Structure 1
Amino acid sequence: MIRIARLLSSLACILSVMPTTLPASTTAAGSAALPTVADVARRAENREPLSIVFLGGSLTWGANASDPNRTSYRGRMMQWLRETYPHTPITFHDAAIGGTGSALALFRIDRDVLPHKPDLVFLDFTVNDGITGADEQNLASYERVLRDLRGSGAAVLPVLMCVHGQITAPADSPLPARYAAHGELAAAYGLVTADTLATARAAVAAGRADPAQLYSIGNDRTHPDDSGYALFFEAVRDAWIKAAATTAASPVPDRTLHADLYPRRDRHVLVDTPLPAGWERAKTYRTAMWFDGLSSRWMGDVARAGSAHAAPLEITFRGSMVGLFGESNPLTPPFRVWIDGKPLPQPGSHAADPYLWNISTARFGSPAAGAANLFAWTLLTRALPDGEHVLKIAPDFTNAAPGAELRIESVCAAGR
């Protein structure tokens, strides 16, 4: 691969990759060779058509970039690949939704990723899964997404994202727990990672970057300006170059590194089942506060309840985790939730009634129809005993304004 060789020789340093030996508790799954980034690069050199998906959150979409399709890491990487392989037809697919992590991705890959038959997936979620956290549930959902992507035959390049607080931390600070765990997972699956933290810290240490300028949009310390995304792009580009020159296989381990909590997933689309009285089928909103939050991109028709006459919605599901995927605006009424007949409080609620779930976007816009529309992913619980359960949802229109509607596309359940 002449072009890759030239690129390798032109770089002063290339992003290092974590050790690729499998932990003692895992073994390579079978002998069939799965495609790698090197295989994708070889196909690109041969001018074969490619399908590439960017799956992640707002840092993959490019929040705060002046033009997310051009100046985000994603936009820059797309342009670099076009320029590097000018005669190769490459189709890019954006599957990034801000504010979401691997828990929702469990239910999205079958709709938003795999239908594109990706040859390669750039995989984010390190920040949105809680970069300093270490909970087993998010590690399980991330690994399951990674495992399913590899099982589909797609090469995967994990992009380990960071934010201002990690970039400005002392150089000898330990890696954030989730960041380290995602790196260890990539190593176990034989994958090269894009280490944005190492790239950004090196740029700051060399005087090439100033954190105050990288994060210069308002008080946002999560989403950088164009200059920050340029550094993230450098990390991803260098990871591509290193992976393209790597000849080692990247087998899927026989067993997961973390507890395999979610091998079974069900996205129960409500309009595909009989709806209770007072609920009806409706099309999704066609406007949103930001493009990656436009619900019509990520879901089909919703079940809509628009009055106090709506009966409770009940559905039986299997799993240990359950959530609601739909849409909301400032008028969205609160609702109550029961699982197996027991009321479920909203986590972190400071309301007088913690059992009244509030998912409205009133914090973003005035309470008017058509204002501040947004998708809504509501994780109800991940603490159920694995098995069959009954979920009941009852909208509460007691103090609702005219035009208020509860809009749910699907009940998403996962478990063993």
Structure 2
Amino acid sequence: MAGLAAVIAALERIWPENRAVNVVFHGHSVPAGYFATPLIDRRASYPHVVAGRLAERHPHAVLNAIVTAVGGEHSESGARRMGEVLGHRPDVVVLDYALNDRVIGLGRAGRAWESMIASVLGAGAVPVLITPSPDLTADPTDPADELVRHAEQIRGLAERDGVLLADPFRVFLGLHERGEPLAGLMSQANHPNGRGHAIIAAEILALFAETEPAGEGSRSE
């Protein structure tokens, strides 16, 4: 959590020593805020939930949540747009592409994620990798399912590169295994509803909570 420690320190600074802290959310339609397409609900989407909770925890922070996500995009396209992302001078870049990466396959997706991670690290920012939210056409219990395999690849990249991982797929799988219908967390087959977005946000916020001073955050988001 060393990288996030510097971000938390920046969030804790008080005027006139403070500065803008930029968290960029880069990905596909889910971070872009699509619920039941074409409906967009940015306020309930996880980037804005994360930003709101961080602002509550750090009331002196100038915190910018910047969404560069594009509906329908996969990680190869996202990698080509990293110049746009880095132009925002991010402190943190959250990467979320697994749902759409099934179109391009594990090999191409893996190379694109590696490129994005390297770009973020090279800019001195903190990458946060996100495992996918559900797709009701996928079987989260089947190791051979493409979505499961992409989730596992993302975990492997995070471990290999020593970067942060938020793993909402693990949480959704646990709920499914305990008998909760995943449909109740979805706006449509491949887009979460507000409850689903809250789960993703909680996993990201937990990373910040582990780094914040005692009493500032918790894992019970």
Query: TM above 0.5, one fold?
Result: yes
Q: Which amino acid aligns with 2:114?
A: E
Whichever residue aligns with residue 200 of structure 2, its letter is F
In structure 2, the residue matched to 1:146 is 117
Q: Deviations over 1:373-402 (max 9, x none)?
A: xxxxxxxxxxxxxxxxxxxxxxxxxxxxxx
| Correspondence list, 1:2-21, <5 A | none
Q: CA deviation at 1:79?
A: 0.7
The answer to whether the aligner puts 1:45 opposite 2:12 as a matched pair is yes
Q: Percent same amino acid at aligned positions?
A: 25
- Do the aligned partners of 1:64 and 1:224 also contact (CA within 8 Å) in 2? yes
Structure 2 counterpart of 1:187, from 128, 152, 159: 159
Q: Which has more helix, going by share of residues?
A: 2
Cα gap change, 1:182/1:193 in structure 2, threshold over 3 Å: closer, same or farther?
same
C-alpha separation between the residues in 1 aligned to 2:131 and 2:103?
10
Specify the alignment match of 2:140 in structure 1. Answer: 169
Tell me the TM-score normalized by structure 1: 0.45
Letter of the structure 2 residue corresponding to residue 228 of structure 1: G
> 1:272-311 maps to which residues of 2 (within 5 A)?
none
Distance in 2 between residues matched to 1:120 and 1:222, nearest whole Å: 26
Contact kept, 8 Å, 2:134 with 2:172, in 1: the verdict is no
Aligned equivalent of 2:200, options 232, 255, 271: 232
Residue 213 (structure 1) shift: 1.3
Instruction: Work out the CA distance in 2 between the residues paired with 1:85 and 1:169.
Output: 36
AA aligned opposite 1:75: H
Q: How many residues align?
A: 204
Distance 2:177 2:201 in 1: 18
| Distance in 1 between residues matched to 2:121 and 2:134, nearest whole Å | 27
Higher RCO (C-alpha under 8 Å, 6+ residues apart): 2
SS in 2 for 1:118: coil
RMSD between superposed Cα atoms in Å = 2.6
Seen in structure 2, the aligned counterparts of structure 1 residues 239 and 36 have a Cα distance that, compared at 3 Å, is: same
Matched-pair contact (CA < 8 Å) for 1:199–1:234? no
The 8 Å contact of residues 133 and 192 in structure 2, kept in 1 or not, is answered as no
State the structure with more CA Rg: 1
| Match status 1:64 vs 2:35 | yes
Residue 211 of structure 1: CA displacement?
Answer: 1.4
Change in CA separation of 1:179 and 1:204 when aligned onto 2, cut-off 3 Å:
closer
| TM-score, length of structure 2 as denominator length | 0.81
